[in-house]
Every structure is written in C-alpha cells, then in structure tokens.
Structure 1
Amino acid sequence: MATRIKILTSLAICAALVLVLLPFTAADGGGGAKGAAPFDYKKALHSSLLYFEAQRSGHLPHNQRVKWRGHSGLADGLQQGVDLVGGYYDAGDNVKFGLPMAFTVTMLSWSAMEFADDIAAAGEWRHVLEAIKWGTDYFVKAHTEPYVLWAEVGDGDTDHYCWQRPEDMTTSRQAYKVDSDNPGSDLVGETAAALAAASMVFRRSNPHYAQVLLHHAEQLFEFGDKYRGKYDSSIGEAYSYYASVSGYGDEMLWAALWLHRATGKASYLDYAVDMADEFGGTTWAITEFSWDVKYAGLQILATKVLLEGKHPEHKATLEKYKAKAEHYLCACLNKNGDAGNVNRTAGGMLFVRQWNNMQYVTNAAFLLTVYSRYLTSAGQELPVLQCPDGPGHADELRALGRAQTDYVLGANPAGVSYLVGFIGCMQGYDNWFLRRGSNPNVVVGAIVGGPDHLDRFRDRRDNYMQTEACTYNTAPMVGIFAHLHGETAITEKS
C-alpha cells in the first residue's frame, strides 16, 4: 500500500504569508526506505520552481503560473529616484534583503550549471532560467553606479508589525544602499558571485545578457575589494535580520572563484590564492554552509580547480582548500573523529541549529552531491576523501545527499513532507494568524524551517522557527531534485 505523507494544515510564517505543506506519496512504502520506490522528484522539482514565482516582487509577467500572487512593490526605489522594482521576498515578510537574495540566485545558478541536462530532461529548463533572471534583472538595476549597490528595500521592524499580503502592504519601502563611504563587501561579493554564476547559465541562450551580467559582476568585485567593510555595519536595519556573522572574507573569496570560473582570468584565481589565509579560506574549518557562511562552498569550488589539474602553480594552496572542504564533508559523513561532526537526529537529519535548520540540510545535500560528481570526474578508480575515521567514497556522499533530500520529502519519523506547497496589516493576524483551519493559498515548493533535534515539528503559525520557509532553503534543491529524477529514470530503464 502507498504511504500517504500527512498534510499539515496550519503552517504559517512570522510576518505575511500563510503556508500549508503539501503531501508527497511514495509509490511503495515511502521514499528512501530500503527496497521502496523513490519519491516523485520531478514533481518536487516542478513545485520548487513554482515557489520562486510565489516569492516574486514587482510587476508580474503574463505567464505567471501562481495566479493568486499579484503585482507588488511597484513604487520601490521611487523615494530615492531609482528603479528597484522586482526581485524576491526572502521568506514570509515583504522586505527585499539583498544578501540572502543574492545567495539564492547563486545557488539556483550553480544548480543550473551542474544539473543542466537533468533539468532540461525534466522539462523545467525555461522555468529555471526565468527564476534566475528574475533575480539578476533586479541586481543589475540595483547596481546603479560602479561603487553603489542598493542593498535592501523595506524595513524589517515596521514590516513585521503587520501581517499582510505584499499586494496590500502599507509599510515603509525605504531603500538602503552601500557605497564607497558605507561599504558592504559581503553583500557586494555575494552579488558579484550570483551574477558571475548566472552569466555562465545564459552564455549559450543569451550571450549579450550573459556579458552584461559579467560586466556588473566584475565591477562589483572591484567595489567590494577596494572599499572593504561589512554591510550590516553600514546598514543597521539589516543587522537584526541578516547579520553578516562570518564577515566579508568568505564572500570575496567566493566571488573570486566564481569569476575565475566564469572568465578564466588568472587574476581571480590569484586573488583566491593570495587572500586564502587572510580571508580564512584555508584556515577556517566549518561544518555549515548557508547564506552567511560560504566557506565550505568556496573550498569545494577551489578543490574543483585542483582536481582538474589546470593550475599546478597553485597546487600547495589548493591542497589546503581541499583539506578544509574535506573537513566539512567528513563532518557530514560522521567520520571527523575528534575534529567534530555535524549532529544528526535519530531520524537521520543533519542538525546544525534550532532556527530554520532545513537550510543547512538542503545546502548539505547539494554540496555532498556536487562534490561526489567532482571526485568521480577526476578519473580516479576509487575517488575518496581522507577523513580522520577512514576514507569517504563518492557513493557515500551521494547516498547521504539523497537521504537528506528524502528526509525533506517525507522519509522521516513524523512522515511529514517539509516541502510546502501560501495574506491588510493587523487584519491578517485577526482573520488568519489565529485560525486553526486550512490556509487560503498554498506556496507550493517552499521548504520550511523543519523539525528540532529530536525530529519534533510543531505545526503552528506562531512557530516560525520551524514553519517559516525561505528562498535559500529551496534554491539548492532545484538541482538535487532534477538530479535524483534523472537517476531514477535511468534506474527504471535498466
């Protein structure tokens, strides 16, 4: 008999939009269980891309598929004399926060590069391009001068006072920028990374647009390096919501490696090597990867360069990057010994912290899967990681990435899919927040914060630590869903 995943009917988020989790069914006994049929990864991919349409700000196109979402933020930037219409709301509020938005676009672009064939085979390539372009179009507009980047539209404090749909918002749309006097190298670096990564995605289908993105990426990198500083020191309004705890070193290294990959220019790789120690790339051993902490991701990018064997002059430094990348991967595999592992719940979920833990799960699933591909592509017979508790193989990385994905979709103790399928101001609280009934709209494809360290999930609108969904939770899963759908199709044919 098919196992039906429970439908959660009262999910919500802290500020504006109501969510409800959608059921996922495995064909036989639940996806991920031994001998069981897999989940419908194609449906998961399709849903995840619908989520980005639900999070759009601005004037919506005629082909918008999420019909209950309307135009919003059409005067954004007007007070400041700039056009800041567009972009994405990061989560359940109606603020456009630049740092998580840029990371979301970087991860969407990385997904598109690594899993292009799988995405195309699933019939979703056009929708992936549209999801990326909705973000990059906004970044190009927000980069109004070489040393100016508009960082945020809206204020979290006033926005969170209200609980209303973006179409109806009555809160402040103040816009905030970083510039040469008020730097923000972390935000600028991440935006440069997003545009560089996206330029590679559009290179074949829209070469002129790809070149525009690359031009802005290179200007932004120069801006971030020339005028160094944390963006949340320049924009106090961002500190309470998206503080840059890791600083800007990781984003600048991340941007340099993406620009090297996009342009092939030796100067960007030289930068990543020259600044490796000062910016922590070869000294920070990290067990998380997120919109704030990029070290594990950039260390894996640097390792890819090493595995390709193209720059022997930098081998010594790239080997140091590789050692730190393996620290993260071995920690996920629980093979790090005294060096420290990522905690796991009894149900098998990687657990980093209470608030929105699922972002670390989805990002880990992505890095594990991508690195397994890099190892396999390196041409070794038995590609391995050198972990303190024994070697780690590429197939172990793939298996753990798939297990984390299946946990999200329903292979967990609660039997719940954490992939969701989405309300003026105080009336939102009065009419919907305290209701126990079903939600009027569903944000298909959103991934909520997820359960605690004991696999417990409390399905309440006021439990936003677990029930709020964010764009950067779903972005890395676009590629993974496509990849697993492709793998499943091959297995079924054989």
Structure 2
Amino acid sequence: MAYTTTMLSWSTLEYGKRMDSQSQLASARAAIRWGTDYLLKCATATSGKLYVGVGDPNADHKCWERPEDMDTVRTVYSVSSSNPGSDVAAETAAALAAASLVFKKVDSKYSELLLKTAKNVMEFAKQYQGAYSDSLGSAVCPFYCSYSGYKDELVWGAAWLLRATKDVSYLNFLKSVGDNDATDTFSWDSKLPGALVLLSRQALLSNDKDFDPFKQQAEDYICKILPDSPYSTTKYTQGGLMFKLPDNNLQYVTAATFLLTTYAKYMASTKHTFNCGSLSVTPSSLRTLAKKQVDYILGENPLKMSYMVGYGPNFPKRIHHRGSSMPSLTSHPQTIGCQGGFDPFMHSTSPNPNILTGAIVGGPDQNDGFPDDRGDYSHSEPTTYINAAIVGPLAYFAKSSSTT
C-alpha cells in the first residue's frame, strides 16, 4: 500500500497538469490522501513503532468471504528497533515524502505533517536496519516477503526525501550506500530502477553533475528492457507484451511503462538521447514502447482482451477478488461465513456479479493466453500496485500531443 501511494504521488507530480485537463487531479489527490491518512496513523500511533499490517494473512487466505462479513482476528503487526523493517519503513517514508510534494501548494499544513513524519520514519529505517520479513516471518511471507532485501528501499526513500527537502545529507547517504546497479525489474519489492530514474531528473533537468552516475545507471536499466537493445534481458510475448514473471506479470509491465514515459519526458525537455551499444535511444522510441504496452493492456493484443475490468467490449469476467465474486449485501443480506464463499461463488464458472471497474488483473501468460479463471490468481487477481503504476502513462497518453 505504501508503494501504491508513492506511485500515485509520483504520477500526480509528473502528470498532474494532464490529469487536471481530464478533471482527474482532484480524484488523484483524494486517492493519495486516503493512503497517507492511513500511513500517518501507522507511523505516529505508538512511539518507536511503525505499524505495517493488520490481519493474519494465513488465516485470511483460508476464507472466501465479503469484507462486510469478515470476522477473522485483526492481529496488528509492527516493526521497531528490536524488530527492524527498513524496507517497509523506507517505502512508507517515500510515500509520505512524495505525497508531501503533491499537497505542498494546495494544503501546506498537511504537506508539512507528511514531510515531518517522512523524515522521522526514514531515520528509523536507516538507524535500525533489517528486512521486515526477517522480523515478522509468516505474517508477511510467502505473501509479501522482501525478496530484494532492504537496500533498494533505503535508496528509494532517500531519493524521495532528497527531492522533497533538497537536504544534501540524503545525497551523501545515497553515495554512501554503494553500488546501485539496477536489476531489470521495478516493482513493489524492487525499487532501484525507480530510484535511479527519479534521481536522474536532477542530472537531466538541472544539469547537476552529482547525479550523472544515477543517470548512467538508469540508462543501463532501460537498455536491459528495450527489445532491440544488445543488452536486453527482457522477454516479450509474440503479441508484444513485456514478460518478466509468470505471477502477476502486469505489475512489472505497468511499473516499467511508467519509468519509460517519465524518462522520455525528462529526455525530451533537454533534447537528450543515449545509446545501448549500437542502438540509439530517443524520447520517441521510449514512448512508442510504452504506448504499445498500454495499448496491449487495453485490448490491442491477440485475444482482443482488455485486462482492465469494465473497459472495452471484452474484459476479464471471473477475477480473483472476493467482493467482486460474491453477491452484494443488498441481494444477499445473510452473512456468508469464512468457508461459505468457496461454494458456490469461488468455484463457480459464472461471471462475477460485481464489476470491479478499472481494476487491472495479473494478465496473460507468456503465450498471450488468458483463461479468465477465478481460481488462477496469478493471472486473474487485480492489485492496487498494478493500477497505481499505470495512472501516469494513462494520463500521458490521454493527452499526448505535447512531448513534455
């Protein structure tokens, strides 16, 4: 949820003017504030602790029930100096810092509270280092383990606080962290590519030489995902979709697409180009690839399937989502217990009765196939972090006549 909030905030910072022209900026701010109000409570409820989860995921996953009927124990999980969680803490700091910039001109008091809290949470992340999945075990694993460790989040959090404060101590910290060779994957777990693109903004827009190493590393990342690059480590389906991992692949596609449009935006403003070996990379080439990914998700693919629920004539009807798959309280006011939803709702072949409009699911397999099977969560489950990353590219392409 913290990553979702960070990405919504970054989308709004980069593409807010385009959102405003579509009358969506107020909605974006409201969605961000919904997240930051919660994160503020998590960070300030108890001194020396950051609350990072509510509900035992093992118990909750054994239920298929409506949220209104849930009665599983609401166990609360936190990280602290004795049980550190630098990854979740630094991501929370990133979300609060990024959001502070969103609200800076429209609600300065709220913005100041967000930034003050972000600084405190980031200091906690730096001072008590460790992975939250090591501290919390089965409360987060295997669902949201910190597979990439916590160093990438420390870089990400520091990068956002540097942008929000311009405090050189965060730049010094970034330099002290060491080698920032990015993986070829940006996601809720793997933050380095996003941090490098964010830091590159200073190199490109302000011509600040201190940030040139980050720019070079960001371009190394892009060279790993371009299909025609000699350094590419990224597969593409026959239909042209970026394919990273079989589980919930569209999360990686939307995240990479955001970085492509955003870096293209930075490049275009300074007429910057670079090379991946013999391949010349321009803002236009990045935008073209990004648009192809967005168009694929929205229906330009071999199955003519829109992977955004409710968009277009053909979209997933049996998504892996409890509230969507079960009858509403209006049509079925009786309580449905923990196990009561598996039959007849979870295992039904009927379309979901409630359309979760706008949600993007995990997406097709490596052969462009999609079974539209509620039980196949790796392809049919929607997540907030898939959607958050595509908001910026959608705002960009909704009004793409300008190159800035």
Task: Calculate the TM-score normalised by the size of structure 2.
Answer: 0.90
1:320, CA displacement in angstroms?
A: 2.8
Q: Which residue of 2 aligns with 1:391?
A: 280
CA distance in 2, matches of 1:208, 1:475: 25
Residues 183 and 228 of structure 1 are in contact (CA less than 8 Å); yes or no, is this contact kept in structure 2? yes
Q: Deviations over 1:447-489 (max 9, x none)?
A: 100011111111111111100010000001112111111126x
Q: Does 1:321 align with 2:214?
A: yes
Moved more, 431-440 or 103-112: 431-440
Any conservation in 1 of the 2:133–2:141 contact (CA below 8 Å)? yes
2:119 corresponds in structure 1 to 218
The separation in 2 between residues aligned to 1:115 and 1:436, in whole angstroms, is 40
Higher deviation after alignment, 418-427 or 439-448: 418-427
The answer on 1:373 being equivalent to 2:265 is yes
Shift of 1:401: 0.7
Q: 2:240 matched to which residue of 1?
A: 348
Q: Distance in 2 between matches of 1:286 and 1:410?
A: 29
CA distance in 2 between counterparts of 1:248 and 1:331 reads: 22
* Paired residue type of 2:117: H
Paired residues of 1:149 and 1:188 also in contact (CA < 8 A): yes
Pick the aligned partner of 1:301 from 198, 203, 207. 198
Aligned equivalents of 2:292, 2:247: Cα separation in 1: 21
User: How far does residue 328 in structure 1 lie from its aligned partner after superposition?
Assistant: 1.9
Query: What residue identity is the alignment partner of 1:153?
Result: V
Is the CA contact (8 Å cut-off) linking 2:8 and 2:388 kept in structure 1?
A: yes
Tell me which residue corresponds to 2:131. Answer: 230
1:329-383: CA deviations, max 9, x gaps? 122222432x343100000000001000000111111100000001112x23xx2
Identity %: 41
1:403 is matched with which residue: 292, 297, 313?
292
1:114 aligns to 2:14 (yes or no): yes
Cα shift readout 1:199-258 (whole Å, capped 9, x = no counterpart): 000011110000000011000010000000000111111021101111111111111110
> Match for 2:132: what amino acid?
Y
Query: Could you tell me which residue of structure 1 aligns to residue 174 of structure 2?
Result: 272
Question: Are 2:47 and 1:167 aligned?
Answer: no
1:104 aligned to 2:4?
Answer: yes
Within 5 Å, give how 1:42-121 maps onto structure 2. 101-121=1-21
Provide the residue aligned with 1:27 in structure 2. Answer: none
State the Cα distance separating 1:147 from its structure 2 match: 2.9
**Count of residues paired in the alignment:** 377
> Mean Cα displacement is larger for which, 236-245 or 266-275?
266-275
1:7-26 alignment, distance < 5 Å: none
Unaligned segments of structure 2, at least 5 residues? 311-323, 327-335
SS in 1 for 2:281: strand
Q: Distance in 2 between matches of 1:300 and 1:187?
A: 21
Q: Distance in 2 between matches of 1:463 and 1:233?
A: 29
Paired position in structure 1 for 2:305: 416
Is the contact between residue 335 and residue 388 of structure 1 (CA under 8 Å) also seen in structure 2? no
Counterpart residue type for residue 286 of structure 2: L
Taking structure 1 as the reference length, the TM-score comes to 0.74
Counterpart in the other structure of 1:157: 58
C-alpha distance in structure 1 between counterparts of 2:31 and 2:118, whole Å: 19
| 2:375 counterpart residue number | 462
Q: Is the 8 A contact 1:146 1:220 kept in 2?
A: no
Amino acid at match of 1:477: I
Structure 2 residue identity aligned to 1:200: L
> C-alpha displacement at 1:152, in angstroms?
0.5
Corresponding position: 1:260 with 2:162: yes
RMSD of Structure 2 on Structure 1 (CA)? 1.5
Higher relative contact order (CA 8 A, sep 6+): 1
- Name the structure 2 match of 1:452: 365
CA-CA distance at 1:122 after TM superposition: 0.5
Q: Give me the whole-angstrom Cα distance separating, in 1, the residues matched to 2:373 and 2:227.
A: 32
Q: Which residue of 2 aligns with 1:93?
A: none
SS at match of 1:107: helix
Q: Distance in 2 between matches of 1:107 and 1:418?
A: 20
Q: What residue in structure 2 maps to residue 198 of structure 1?
A: 99
The alpha-carbon deviation at position 310 of structure 1 amounts to 5.4
SS in 2 for 1:176: strand
1:208 counterpart = 2:97: no
Query: CA offset at residue 413 of structure 1?
Result: 0.5
Q: Is residue 226–residue 232 contact of structure 2 (8 Å, CA) maintained in 1?
A: no
What amino acid is the match of 1:397?
L
Partner of 2:343: 430
Q: Secondary structure at the match of 1:427?
A: coil
The offset of 1:108, in angstroms, is 0.2
1:386 aligns to what SS in structure 2?
A: strand
Unaligned runs of 5+ in 1: 1-100
Q: Matched residue of 1:240: which SS?
A: coil
Going from structure 1 to structure 2, the CA distance change for 1:145 and 1:170 (only over 3 Å counts) comes to closer
- Paired with 2:122 and 2:207, the residues of 1 have a C-alpha distance of 24
Deviation, structure 1 residue 264: 1.3
Match of 1:142 among 22, 26, 42: 42
